[in-house]
Amino acid sequence: MSLHSPLPLRLKEARIRKNLTQQQLGALLGLEQNNASARMNQYERGKHTPDFDTLKRIAHILDVPVAYFYCEDKLEAEILEAMHRLQPEQKQALLAFIETLKT
């Protein structure tokens, strides 16, 4: 198991996919303009970690589930991201399908 958190990498990947700069994401979070980019850069380098409430807000802005940031495996992260966008009945159908794979 990795000693490094996958959060910085996942945060950067999700931000880039949304076509946002660090400055823009920080501004959307409501950070002060003069330190928004620096704060996001610290999160993406793993120097600091956002608290859970901040991470929930980041996840909402980037349209990913909070758990996405903690996936060490890239495929699992992609599955979580795709599942996040499904409607509740689609999620239920997906869960039923996954259950059939376990047998």
pLDDT at residue 102 tops 90? no
Nearest CA to 59 out of 38, 47, 43, 73 is that of 43
Angle, alpha carbons 77-83-85 (nearest 5°) = 115
Higher pLDDT, 1 or 57: 57
pLDDT at residue 22 tops 60? yes
Nearest CA to 59 out of 39, 29, 22 is that of 29
Nearest CA to 44 out of 63, 65, 20, 60 is that of 20
Q: What's the CA gap between 55 and 70, in Å, rounded? A: 11
The domains found in the chain, sorted by start residue, are: 7-101 (1.10.260.40)
**Residue-averaged pLDDT of the chain:** 93
Identity of residue 59: A
The predicted-structure confidence for 65-79, as pLDDT tens digits, reads as follows 999 999 999 999 999
